[in-house]
Amino acid sequence: MRSDALDRRRLFNAWVLLATAATVFAALFALAAATIAAGTNAGLGSTIVERLLVGHVFFSLVLAGTAFIAAFWIDSLLLLDGSRLPRVAAWIGFWLAVAGALLAVIGTLGTWGDPVLTEFVPVVVEPVFLTGFGLFMAGIALTTGCYVYAVTSAEVARMPLVLYGMLCIAAMMISAGLAGVASITRLFGNWFAFRLAWRTPYVLFQAIFWGPAHLIQFAVIGAMISAWIRLLPSPDPQGRVDRVGRIDFLALVLFAAITLIILYAWNPLDLPKATTLNVLVSDAQALPVALLAVVILKVAFRTRLWALGSGLTMSILLFAWGLLIALLGIRQTSAAWVPSHYDAMIPGAVLLSFMSITTQLVQQSHRLLSPKLAALQPCLYGGGILAVSLALLWSALVGGERRGYFVTMPAAGPVALLWIGGIAAGLGVLAFATNIVGTLWGLPDPATRPCRQPARSAV
């Protein structure tokens, strides 16, 4: 059993390193795109900038987000006695994901194929990038199956909240895969419509990914909830976080199932134009999370607000800011507010919570390279993302035009704020990567150190 636990810890470390690398690449792509756009007349319209923007969103939303989820799956199994993780299959899933990520890097930096800034999952339409995307998702699918098998093969009288939540997230990931199958089969089922869509890659890939990406967001949001719960600095004596957390996870699964059923009945080419449906799906994701955030804040006020810790505090702040942007934006005739909302939610609230809980989990079996850097990193990164989101919103309000997940900059003020925020966020990513990589590669194997599991009533 000890060797099994050590193998899981090594697999957890491997997924953490992959997620960290994807986060670094996402930051580098964004910085390179901003630098090139500022030095050319074409700005965001140049092909090379569009490729880099595709890479930034793809690596932050798809690769980093789902790789962190895979790491949390493996870590949660350490809390469950009697589970049987298929080792070979789990490692095959990881190496498939690594191969896919490498091909995605090559496809992004190459000069062949066309970048398509579709919403949710932008891609480069060429074989290397798309093959990498397929391999990565195959690795995630195999890891999902291994996790579900490991959990359901164990005797669990009352499943801890962490395992309950991560199992719900696995169900959401499975629903995303089924939604992808539904979109592709529906498109191929209408050959005439498919041929028309093939002539316009933006329309085709928007239709393929629109439904699955909504459900992937359910899983990512669910993982953020799990991270928030594990980041709580003190026990919850009344168990409110546990009760509300279980309700939230169950609500997300139910909403994901309803969304999946609707997607099976809807023409994929019509989904991007279904404004009311998309608003309802977004609300279904946000409302349970907002409820849990209120409960967490109530618990925090009873134990002093500062005890939340910088990572949890900044993540909740960015989530609230993203909700506010959405509430203000849906009344606007222009959709230029969307990029600011996206940055606050995904690169902001979600990835910050992932980085914070990853640092805490790594610290349970290793001595961090720099605890001071770990304490500073959430403020540096979260503050930078907040500034970037403000800059994008500012540009949208003064007439900037939306281009995918980004907005043109018609004034000098938003540009200056964007650079300040971008540099701060980049330094935050660098601080996180330095701490994690330096800790996992620069210190002894966890076999030489005892694992320290924190005692928390919420998990």
* DSSP result, 199-245: TSHHHHHHHHHHHHHHHHHHHHHHHHHHHHHHH-SS--TT-HHHHHH
pLDDT per position as a tens digit, 30-47: 888 888 876 554 456 677
- Comparing CA positions, the residue from 284, 355, 263, 264 lying closest to residue 65 is 355
Q: Pick the residue with more confidence: 349 or 273?
A: 349
- Tell me the mean pLDDT in the region 195-208: 73
**b/e per residue 16-27 (b: at least 16 CB within 10 A):** bbbbbbbbbbbb
* DSSP state for residue 115 in the 8-state scheme: E
Whether residue 176 has pLDDT greater than 50: yes
Whether residue 323 has pLDDT greater than 90: no
Answer yes or no: are the C-beta atoms of 260 and 336 closer than 8 Å. no
CB burial of residue 250 (10 Å; 0-12, 13-18, 19+): middle
| pLDDT, position 330 | 67
State pTM to two decimals. 0.87
Q: How many CA atoms lie within 13 A of 221 on its CB side?
A: 32
One-character DSSP codes across 387-449:
HHHHHHHHHHHTTPPEETTEE---SHHHHHHHHHHHHHHHHHHHHHHHHHHHHHHHS--GGGS
State how beta strands 406-407 and 402-403 pair. antiparallel
Q: Given the structure tokens 């965001």, which residue do they identify?
A: 44
Quick one: CA dihedral 270, 61, 29, 388, positive or negative? positive
Q: Which of 80-84, 111-115, 152-156 has the lowest mean pLDDT?
A: 152-156
Whether residue 25 has pLDDT greater than 90: yes
Mean pLDDT of the chain: 82
Whether residue 121 has pLDDT greater than 70: yes
Entry field: residues in the chain:
459
pLDDT per position as a tens digit, 360-373: 999 887 888 888 88
Q: Which of 49-58, 76-85, 368-377 has the lowest mean pLDDT?
A: 76-85
pLDDT per position as a tens digit, 432-459: 999 999 888 765 544 444 444 433 434 4
Q: First-to-last CA distance in the chain?
A: 22
In angstroms, rounded to a whole number, what is the distance separating the alpha carbons of residues 72 and 8? 11
- Cα 155-157-162 angle, rounded to 5 deg: 90
| pLDDT, position 329 | 74
Answer yes or no: are the C-beta atoms of 298 and 363 closer than 8 Å. no
Is residue 113 classed as helix, strand or coil in its secondary structure?
A: coil
Whether residue 273 has pLDDT greater than 80: no
Whether residue 266 has pLDDT greater than 50: yes
Residues 6+ apart with CB under 8 A from 366: 439, 440, 443, 446, 449
- Comparing CA positions, the residue from 65, 62, 38 lying closest to residue 49 is 38
* DSSP state for residue 270 in the 8-state scheme: G
Return the structure tokens found at 245. Answer: 């957390």
Q: Which of 29-43, 60-74, 248-262, 319-333 has the lowest mean pLDDT?
A: 29-43
Distances (CA, A) of 446 to 6, 92, 235: 7, 22, 27
CB burial of residue 304 (10 Å; 0-12, 13-18, 19+): exposed
Distances (CA, A) of 359 to 180, 366, 381: 33, 10, 14
Work out the angle between the directed axes of helices 351-363 and 2-38 (0-180°, nearest 10): 140
Residue 388: how many other CB atoms lie within 10 Å: 27
DSSP H stretches of helix in 303-350? 310-329, 338-343
- Comparing CA positions, the residue from 65, 66, 17 lying closest to residue 435 is 17
Whether residue 397 has pLDDT greater than 80: yes
- Comparing CA positions, the residue from 305, 298, 256, 302 lying closest to residue 281 is 256
Q: Given the structure tokens 């890479």, which residue do they identify?
A: 55
Q: Pick the residue with more confidence: 394 or 307?
A: 394
Distances (CA, A) of 100 to 90, 106, 246: 16, 10, 34
pLDDT band at 136; cut points 50, 70, 90: very high
